[in-house]
Amino acid sequence: MEVEKELVTPGEVLGLGSDFKAGKGAYFSPDTKTIYASLTGFRSIIPPPIDATDQRPTVEVSGHKAHGAVPEPGSIVIARVTKVMARMASADIMCVGSKSVREKFTGIIRQQDVRATEIDKVEMHASFRPGDIVRALVLSLGDARAYYLSTAKNELGVVSAESAAGGEMVPISWTEMQCPLTGQVEQRKVAKVGA
């Protein structure tokens, strides 16, 4: 049986759990009874051993190195905030460590992952604004191709922000950045400089 090679990205549907077993680089969702890719790579179908009681073939994804960096739980990423809602902010991941990504990866920073203290008092709109560049830790592969990100450490948070006047904001405390053009202070979850 020919092993097929098809490029897939995280969150892409690989097949139904009734037809396949999830191998490496793939995971089974009990809710949808569907198998999804957990990394970027080539989809391959491995036939079951002839004597196996479960005769479903295994679907797996083998990674390939040519495709830039891929976020993984535990890695530090640089992301641009695209949308801020009441309980979470979404961001496009631009770099994993020092390597840039070549594909689009979306990250979500939930209210409980913004900072380590006084979690119940976190206001998303006082922590991030669209366009902010944040340094964050990847917690896990969340749902539907979005990674859960955390800024709940001193060295994580907003590293670069533009003010309403178009100036590059300067951090003045853990929670505030100031516009050098107008002197206006805006609230942010600021990353500790020099971390």
Do 177 and 107 have their domain in common?
Answer: yes
CA–CA separation, 54 and 48 (whole Å) = 8
91 shares a domain with 15: no
Q: Which residues in the chain land under pLDDT 50?
A: 1-3, 195
**28 DSSP assignment:** E
**What's the CA gap between 75 and 84, in Å, rounded?**
23
Last residue of a domain, one of 23, 38, 63: 63
91 with 59, same domain: the answer is no
How far apart are the C-alpha atoms of 104 and 122, rounded to whole Å? 28
Residue 194 lies in a domain: no
Per-residue model confidence (pLDDT) at position 142: 72
Domain holding 20, by residue range, is 6-63
Residue 192 CB contacts under 8 Å (≥ 6 apart), including other chains: 154, 155, 157, 174
17 and 99, same domain (yes or no) = no
Residues 84 and 166 in one domain: yes
Residue 1 resides in a domain: no
Give pLDDT, residue 5: 64
d(CA 70, CA 9): 10
3-state SS assignment for residue 137? strand
The C-alpha atoms of residue 20 and residue 29 are separated, in whole angstroms, by 12
Q: Answer yes or no: is 181 within a domain.
A: yes
- Regarding whether 41 and 86 lie in a shared domain, the answer is no
What are the distances in angstroms from CA 156 to CA 51, 77, 169? 52, 10, 17
Q: What is the CATH number of the domain that holds 126?
A: 2.40.50.140
d(CA 124, CA 86): 6
In a domain, 119, yes or no: yes
pLDDT at 2: 44
Pair (91, 113) in one structural domain: yes
Answer yes or no: is 172 within a domain.
yes
Same domain, residue pair 58 and 82: no
**Single-letter amino acid code for the residue at 194:** G
CATH number of the domain encompassing residue 53: 2.40.50.100
Query: Is the domain of 49 the same as that of 23?
Result: yes
Whether 68 maps to a domain, the answer reads: no
For residues 49 and 81, state if they share a domain.
no
Assessment of whether the complete model's pTM goes beyond 0.85: no
**Listed residues 63, 86, 103: the one ending a domain:** 63
Q: What is the pLDDT of residues 128-151, one digit of tens each?
A: 999 999 999 999 887 667 899 999
Beta strands 185-187; 176-178: pairing state: antiparallel
**Same domain for 90 and 18:** no
The span from the CA of 161 to the CA of 189, in Å, is 11
- End residue of a domain, out of 22, 37, 63: 63
- pLDDT tens for each residue of 42-57: 888 999 888 888 899 9
pLDDT given for residue 126 in this prediction: 95
CB of 41 closer than 8 Å to CB of 8: yes
H runs (alpha helix) in 37-195: none
User: Tell me, what's the pLDDT at 1?
Assistant: 43
Looking at the 3D structure of the chain, how many domains does it have? 2
